[in-house]
């Protein structure tokens, strides 16, 4: 049988009906990014292919294109409301985030992941069902290396694909010859199992997806594809290659070393999803608050209320009708949040800063954990928004650096699911009854009141706090250098003081390391000045420090590298000094001084 004949055999839809059964449905999830002029046409092409053949829906996902792609998808839905159900993301979250959103909005028993640009001919979909039926497979992956595939692919990408295939085979050991082709058919349960454990959102998304499913025992097979790549440049850039390599090594570490994916406990949405009270403390309405409320409006989980606590009523601000506004006068954030907790009608209070933007799915991913009785709280990372000014993004890079945040880097950069006893209140959800049992926040500290609250939830009440990287917000940062260092100094001083007052979550080596470095730098310099034989050793130690920090801040753009390097070193010095100051203090200034938030919060855009 010729290659053409073999492919043609797959154009029979009989096997699709057999796989789907009498009530099954195929959901075609199509991630689309900047496909204006083609998105609507491609959706219509897929719809026509499936129409009358199987029960289906097309779920195109606009990944924050901002170029008219979303409008084309809206028009397609208007023309075919029964079968086209678009998902429109406001900001670009990457392929993994787009597919996850598509899955949440889909209804099919079988899911086809199909790149929205249709480089891959969807007419070969029946062949995927043939393979699924004949091989009794749970997942069928389109492969450029399948003997029956017909591909038009640039040689550069062929070489890159071959190299990456070799790396994946060595590190992950998947039983497929091609992981990156954007056409894959899944039984829904297999895809859901993997999605519940995934961390990668961008280029190595496919490898992690298949690795998780294969490790759990889902059967994977390959089918032929027909690809016409054309004259596109694609995404084979140095930066993207670096990201793919980093993510692939991380997948290997989680899969082979940590055995992480199998350890993630299965969690289902509660049978009766609880009402969530979102409490936003702020000095006054601002552009940041507008972004925050817009992020809440985009949540697919709809059983929530919003309570905003400004100083004054601000009647001129266009408050959304569903928002409850409770003016508080000038108060510290902890006092404002306590007012919100008292007013909350929900079973869960979601604490959110006014300069934090919840991503789509923020509530969906968090609420499911409250089905577990021993979970008292849930939180996630506060990542730096790509829209932040450049120096603010540099501040975010410094926070996310391993040499600055250490084991707490997960607060600023998405990491694996874990339990923790200390999360910031810019993105934290706690059961309402626990908050009221504890009397809310301590009001004599700022910052640090969230550290005390988390410690009480875990160590006094015996509940777990879960960190999930998908419970994410975009949190605006202060720019390098002075605003960033002022904030660092304030955090450090309270952490040093808490080492004596609240040691359960603060007496940890990572918090003390910068102070040890500062003490070593000063005392070593003095000793070296008084005893010349030690000068070479002192210089060697300083050189090692400079070299390590230089490598840890590596970036392909020299100026970004330089600023991050200087920011990390300045952060070490300021944190070390201020931590010692707090460690030696009899009490914190905030315990005796009135809180002046217009200078500390409103100007800086913080709550």
Of 208-222, 256-270, 412-426, the poorest mean pLDDT is in 256-270
Residue 592 has pLDDT above 60, yes or no: no
Rounded to 5°, the CA angle 62-67-68 comes to 75
**pLDDT score of 32 more than 80:** yes
C-alpha span between 6 and 224 (Å, rounded): 9
Half-sphere exposure of 406 (CA within 13 A, CB side): 10
607 pLDDT band (50/70/90 cuts)? very low
DSSP state of 532: G
- Nearest Cα to 411, choosing from 399, 398, 421? 399
At which of 263, 286, 303 does a domain end?
263
Candidates 390, 279, 298; CA nearest to 339 is 279
CB 303 within 8 A of CB 286: no
Sheet-wide strand order for 464-467: 323-325, 304-309, 276-281, 348-353, 427-431, 375-379, 464-467, 418-420
Question: What is the reported pLDDT for 440?
Answer: 95
- What is the spatial distance between Cα 406 and Cα 231, in angstroms, rounded to a whole number? 44
Q: Residues 67, 69, 70, 71: is their CA dihedral positive or negative? A: positive
Q: pLDDT-based confidence at 229, cuts 50/70/90?
A: low
Q: Which among 385, 361, 360, 357 is positioned nearest to 291, based on CA atoms?
A: 357
**Mean pLDDT computed over 436-449:** 90
Residue 568 covered by a domain? yes
pLDDT value, residue 596: 39
| Mean pLDDT of the residues in the chain | 90
Phi, psi of 402 (to 5 degrees): -60, -35
Across-strand partners of 87?
Answer: 61
Residue 489 lies in a domain: no
Is residue 481 predicted with pLDDT exceeding 50?
yes
| Rounded-to-10 torsion of CA 392, 398, 404, 410 | 80
Among residues 263, 286, 304, the one where a domain terminates is 263
Indicate the helix (H) or strand (E) that contains 113: strand 110-114
Q: What is the pLDDT of residues 539-551, one digit of tens each?
A: 999 999 999 999 9
Q: What is the mean pLDDT of residues 105-123?
A: 93
CATH number at residue 259: 3.90.550.10
Distance of CA 600 to the CA centre of its chain: 28
pLDDT at 58: 97
Domain interval for residue 598: 499-602
H/E run at residue 377: strand 375-379
pLDDT number for residue 597: 41
Which is higher by pLDDT, 499 or 158? Answer: 499
- Region 277-301: mean pLDDT is 94
Residue 239 has pLDDT above 90, yes or no: no
Torsion-angle region of 292 (φ positive above 0: left; ψ -120 to 50: alpha; else: beta): alpha
Q: Which long-range contacts (CB under 8 A, 24 or more apart) does 564-568 make?
A: 564/394, 564/397, 564/398, 564/401, 566/481, 567/394, 567/395, 567/397, 567/398, 567/480, 567/481, 567/484, 568/398, 568/401, 568/403, 568/404
Residue 202 has pLDDT above 80, yes or no: no
Q: Of residues 372 and 9, which shows the higher confidence score? A: 372
User: Which pLDDT band holds residue 595 (cuts at 50, 70, 90)?
Assistant: very low
pLDDT over 50 (residue 5): no
Q: Which residues of 434-454 are buried (b: 16+ CB within 10 A; e: fewer)?
A: bbeebebbbbebbbbbbbbbb
Mean pLDDT for the stretch of residues 31-38? 92
Residue 143 lies in a domain: yes
- Predicted confidence (pLDDT) at residue 267 exceeds the cutoff of 70: yes
At CA 587, angle to CA 582 and CA 430, rounded to 5?
A: 85
Give the end of a domain, one of 223, 248, 263.
263
- Please give the pLDDT value at position 406: 92
Instruction: Provide the pLDDT for residue 232.
Output: 54
Kind of pairing, strands 348-353 and 226-228? unpaired
Query: What is the C-alpha separation between 57 and 47, in angstroms, rounded?
Result: 8
H helix or E strand, kind and range, residue 152: strand 150-152
Position 598 pLDDT exceeds 80? no
What's this model's pTM, rounded to 2 decimal places? Answer: 0.85
pLDDT band at 4 (very low <50, low <70, confident <90, very high): very low
Examine residue 96 and state whether it is found in any structural domain, yes or no. yes
- Indicate whether 357 belongs to any domain: no
d(CA 304, CA 313): 22
Q: What whole-number percentage of the chain has pLDDT above 90?
A: 69
* Other residues' Cβ atoms within 10 Å of the Cβ of residue 462: 9
Q: Residue 224's closest CA among 442, 454, 5?
A: 5
Start-to-end CA distance of the chain, whole Å, equals 69
331 occurs within a structural domain: no
Would the pLDDT of 473 be above 90?
yes
pLDDT (0 to 100) of residue 231: 55
What whole-number distance in Å separates Cα of residue 219 and Cα of residue 336?
53
Distance CA 584, CA 594 (A): 22
User: How many separate domains does the chain show?
Assistant: 2
Residue 417 to residues 381, 398, 450: CA-CA distances in angstroms? 11, 23, 20
**Distance between CA atoms of 220 and 373, rounded to whole angstroms?**
36
What does the alpha-carbon distance between residue 395 and residue 383 come to, in Å, rounded to a whole number? Answer: 11
Over residues 419-432, the pLDDT tens digits come to: 999 999 999 999 99
Comparing 7 with 123, the larger pLDDT belongs to 123
Helix or strand run (H / E) with residue 187: strand 183-187
pLDDT at 8 over 50: no
**Strand partners for 152:** 228
> Is 440 within the bounds of a domain?
no
Handedness of CA 188, 194, 195, 196 (dihedral sign): positive
Q: Rounded CA gap, 218 and 333, in Å?
A: 49
Specify whether the CB–CB gap between 144 and 227 falls below 8 A: yes
Maximum separation of any 2 CA atoms in the chain, in Å: 89
**Minimum mean pLDDT range among 31-45, 88-102, 129-143, 228-242:** 228-242
* Of 2 and 122, more confident: 122
- pLDDT tens-place string over residues 133-148: 999 999 999 998 898 8
More confident residue, 433 or 160: 433
Residue 116 placed within a domain: yes
How many other CB atoms sit within 10 Å of the CB of residue 311? Answer: 17
Give the pLDDT of residue 278.
Answer: 98
In sign, the C-alpha dihedral spanning 558, 559, 562, 564 is negative
Query: Which residue pairs, CB below 8 angstroms and at least 24 apart, start in 584-589?
Result: 584/496, 585/493, 585/496, 585/497, 587/497, 588/445, 588/493, 588/494, 588/497
């Amino acid at each position: 049988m010729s290659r053409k004949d073999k492919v043609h055999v797959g154009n029979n839809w009989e096997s699709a009906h057999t796989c789907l059964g009498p009530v099954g449905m195929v959901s075609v999830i199509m991630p689309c990014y900047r496909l204006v002029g083609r998105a609507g046409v491609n959706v219509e092409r897929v719809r026509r292919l499936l129409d009358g053949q199987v029960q289906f829906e097309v779920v195109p996902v606009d990944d924050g294109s901002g170029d008219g792609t979303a409008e084309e998808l809206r028009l397609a839905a208007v023309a075919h409301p029964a079968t086209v159900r678009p998902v429109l993301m406001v900001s670009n979250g990457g392929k993994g985030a787009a597919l996850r959103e598509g899955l949440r909005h889909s209804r099919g028993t079988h899911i086809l992941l199909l790149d929205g640009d249709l480089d891959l001919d969807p007419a070969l979909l029946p062949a995927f069902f043939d393979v699924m039926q004949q091989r009794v497979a749970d997942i069928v992956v389109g492969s450029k290396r399948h003997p029956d595939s017909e591909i038009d692919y640039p040689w550069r990408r062929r070489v890159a694909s071959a190299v990456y295939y070799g790396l994946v085979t060595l590190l992950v050991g998947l039983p497929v010859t091609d992981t990156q082709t954007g056409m894959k058919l899944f039984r829904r349960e297999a895809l859901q199992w993997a999605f519940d454990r995934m961390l990668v959102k961008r280029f190595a998304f496919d490898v992690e997806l298949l690795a998780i499913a294969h490790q759990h025992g889902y059967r994977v097979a390959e089918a032929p594809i027909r690809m016409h790549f054309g004259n596109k440049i694609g995404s084979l850039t140095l930066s993207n290659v670096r990201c793919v390599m980093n993510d692939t090594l991380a997948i290997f570490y989680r899969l082979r070393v940590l055995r992480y994916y199998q350890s993630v406990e299965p969690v289902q949405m509660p049978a009766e999803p609880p009402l969530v009270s979102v409490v936003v403390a702020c000095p006054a309405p601002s552009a940041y608050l507008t972004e925050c409320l817009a992020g809440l409006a985009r949540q697919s989980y709809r059983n929530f209320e919003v309570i905003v606590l400004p100083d004054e009523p601000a009647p001129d601000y266009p408050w959304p009708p569903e928002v409850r506004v409770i003016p508080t006068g000038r108060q510290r954030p902890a006092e404002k949040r306590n007012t919100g907790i008292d007013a909350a009608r929900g079973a869960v209070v979601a604490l959110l800063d006014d300069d934090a933007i919840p991503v789509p799915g923020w509530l969906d991913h968090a609420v499911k954990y409250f089905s577990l009785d021993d979970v008292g709280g849930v939180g996630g990372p506060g990542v730096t928004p790509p829209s932040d000014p450049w120096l603010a993004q540099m501040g975010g890079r410094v926070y996310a650096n391993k040499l600055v945040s250490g084991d707490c880097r997960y607060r600023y950069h998405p990491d694996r699911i874990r339990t923790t006893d200390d999360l910031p209140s810019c993105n934290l959800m706690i059961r309402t009854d626990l908050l009221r049992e504890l009397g809310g926040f301590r009001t004599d500290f700022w910052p640090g009141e969230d550290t005390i609250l988390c410690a009480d939830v875990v160590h006094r009440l015996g509940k777990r706090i879960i960190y999930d990287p998908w419970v994410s917000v975009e949190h605006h940062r202060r720019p390098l250098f002075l605003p960033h260092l002022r904030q660092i100094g304030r955090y450090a001083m309270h952490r040093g003081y808490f080492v004596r007052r609240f040691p359960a979550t603060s007496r940890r080596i990572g918090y003390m390391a910068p102070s040890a470095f500062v003490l070593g730098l000063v005392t070593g310099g003095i000793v070296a000045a008084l005893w010349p034989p030690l000068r070479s050793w002192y210089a060697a130690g300083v050189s090692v420090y400079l070299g390590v920090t230089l490598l840890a801040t590596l970036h392909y753009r020299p100026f970004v590298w330089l600023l991050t390097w200087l920011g990390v070193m300045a952060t070490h010095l300021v944190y070390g000094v201020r931590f010692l100051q707090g460690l030696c203090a009899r009490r914190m200034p905030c315990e005796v001084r009135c809180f002046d938030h217009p200078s500390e919060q409103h100007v800086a855009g913080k709550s």
